[in-house]
């Protein structure tokens, strides 16, 4: 009987320590490749976030997963896009789209349809950004946005399920000698 009481106190202690802990407010964007061309530098990145069954259930229910992705350099190259992963609940296919917000333009990219969410996620997490060749500092930030559910007249914040809200990386290029 005393073991049950000790387990109860230990569980209560662990709950409060987890609740009071600082937590992980910022995730990471990993650099997969850097390609230096004559007039541009292209960064291939991967947004690294936790995927779990709760997120899978929300996506399968038709609730989109949305990121606002902003990239900038010390040369003034700035690109802002909105990336949205959706499930077509009619035929259970997954696709995502990128809408370029800045610089202003009519640029929208639609992915192909995927039958499995994990295959869609593989491409959804990959981000490619292009910068001026003379740039020395690159920064990419992705912010997880709340998703609107019109049927329920609510907004769902997936950052609690995903692990964090903001993902970023900064790269400083060394001088060539």
pLDDT tens digit sequence for 92-130: 899 999 999 888 777 888 999 999 999 999 999 999 999
What integer pLDDT is reported at residue 176 of this predicted model? 56
What integer pLDDT is reported at residue 98 of this predicted model? 93
What integer pLDDT is reported at residue 3 of this predicted model? 52
Which residues of the chain register pLDDT less than 70? 1-26, 175-177
- Encoding tokens for residue 100? 């370029």
pTM: 0.80
For residue 78, what are the contacts with CB-CB under 8 A and spacing of at least 6? 70, 71, 72, 102, 103
32 vs 47: CA distance, rounded Å = 10
2 vs 126: CA distance, rounded Å = 52
What integer pLDDT is reported at residue 68 of this predicted model? 96
What integer pLDDT is reported at residue 128 of this predicted model? 94
What integer pLDDT is reported at residue 1 of this predicted model? 55
């Amino acid at each position: 009987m005393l073991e049950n009481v000790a387990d109860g106190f230990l569980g209560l202690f662990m709950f409060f320590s987890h609740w009071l802990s600082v937590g992980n407010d910022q995730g990471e964007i990993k650099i997969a490749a850097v390609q230096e061309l004559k007039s541009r530098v292209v960064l291939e990145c991967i947004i690294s976030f936790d995927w779990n069954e709760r997120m899978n259930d929300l996506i399968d229910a038709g609730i989109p997963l949305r990121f606002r992705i902003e990239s900038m350099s010390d040369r003034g190259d700035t690109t802002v896009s909105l990336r949205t992963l959706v499930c077509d609940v009619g035929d259970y296919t997954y696709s995502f789209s990128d809408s370029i917000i800045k610089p202003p333009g009519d640029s929208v990219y639609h992915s192909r349809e995927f039958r499995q969410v994990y295959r869609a996620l593989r491409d959804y997490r990959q981000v490619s950004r292009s910068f001026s060749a003379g740039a020395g500092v690159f920064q990419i930030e992705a912010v997880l946005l709340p998703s609107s559910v019109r049927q329920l007249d609510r907004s769902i914040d997936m950052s609690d399920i995903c692990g964090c809200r903001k993902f970023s990386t900064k790269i400083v290029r060394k001088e060539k000698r």
